[in-house]
Amino acid sequence: MGAESSPKIIIVDESPIRAAILEEGLREASFAGVVHISEMQSLLARIYALDPDAILIDLENPSRDVLEQMLQVSRALRRPIAMFVDQSDAASIQAFVDAGVSASNPL
């Protein structure tokens, strides 16, 4: 799979170490179009500008603000979103699914 045909994947993670591990794994699997975003500020605008094919989000403890941003992202882009969280409850997971997140799994 060449760089031209490789899907563009955005990794949203405030931890540079976790993001680097995930990015390395994706590149080894021949995904050349991997972009890392480390800050949540203006997340929607940055994701919209990059126009990814998929979004991977790694959060330690997602807040209502992050949920709102994910809702905006899913409505604006209609792209697959997978979210990985350290801590969450059943109500939060349901809210993420309602917001269009494709998966929400504990790390």
Domains and CATH numbers, the chain: 8-106 (3.40.50.2300)
Percent over 90 (pLDDT), the chain: 26
Cβ 42 vs Cβ 73: under 8 Å? no
Alpha carbons 80 and 101: distance in angstroms, whole number: 7
Alpha carbons 48 and 90: distance in angstroms, whole number: 29
Give the N- to C-terminal CA distance of the chain in Å, as an integer.
Answer: 29
**63: amino acid identity, one letter:** S
Span 72-102, pLDDT tens digits: 777 777 778 777 766 656 666 666 666 666 5
Alpha carbons 7 and 92: distance in angstroms, whole number: 29
